[in-house]
Structure 1
Amino acid sequence: MSAEDLENYETEMELQLYREYRDVVGLFSYVVETERRFYLANQVDLQVRSADGEVYFEVSMSDAWVWDVYRPARFVKAVKVVTFKDVNVEELTPNDLQLPKNGGFGAAS
């Protein structure tokens, strides 16, 4: 497999992942972004913890979808993430679910 074939394959996989995201985002209430992953979830519990002077975050999610191009099954019943980096949790509103009329991402009208 050439480098170009590999790049084309990865681009196609990312496009398929975006399409899946677009199709499922309306099923979820929250967007959760960690240092390594992006999740959609219906229940989120974020706890700030500390141990030995270090602060870390513990995020528990239920009924989740994981943005990971290499993961064959992206729907997960329960996820627990522990991270030392910031965690961003946003509640989705109906307006957040609207894609631009032109298709977004620089698509021509």
Structure 2
Amino acid sequence: MSAEDLENYEAELELQLYREYKDVANLFNYVVETERRFYLANNVDLKTRSADGEVFFDLTLTDAWVWDVYRTGRFVQSVRIVTFKDVNIEELNRTEELTIPKEGLN
């Protein structure tokens, strides 16, 4: 397999994942973005904690979907995330229609 074949394969996986995201996004209330992953969830519990002078975030998501190309089971009942980086949580507006950009995914 050439480098170009591998790149095309990975691009196709990302496109399939985006299409799945588009299909399931209306089932969820929140979008959660961490430095490592992107999630959809119906319930989000965020706690800011500190230990030894370090601040970190302890998130628990329930009824979630995980954006991960290599994961076969993306729907999970519960996810606990501990991160030292910023967390972005947005409440979804379920009336908005998601579209694939004309220039595709990069």
Task: State if a TM-score over 0.5 links the two structures.
Answer: yes
Identity, % of aligned positions: 69
Where in structure 1 do 4 or more consecutive aligned residues deviate above 3 Å? none
- The reply on whether 1:49 has 2:49 as its aligned counterpart is yes
Mapped partners of 2:39, 2:100: distance in 1: 21
Runs (5+) with no aligned partner, structure 2: none
2:12 is paired with a residue whose SS is helix
Q: CA RMSD in A?
A: 1.1
- The reply on whether 1:59 has 2:59 as its aligned counterpart is yes
Mapped partners of 1:48, 1:7: distance in 2: 39
Tell me which residue corresponds to 1:38. 38
> How far 1:98 moved relative to its partner?
1.4
Mapped partners of 2:100, 2:63: distance in 1: 28
TM-score norm. by structure 1 comes to 0.90
* Paired residue type of 1:74: R
Tell me which residue corresponds to 2:74. 74
> How far 1:104 moved relative to its partner?
4.2
> How far 1:93 moved relative to its partner?
1.4
Aligned length: 103
Mapped partners of 2:100, 2:38: distance in 1: 20
TM-score norm. by structure 2 comes to 0.92
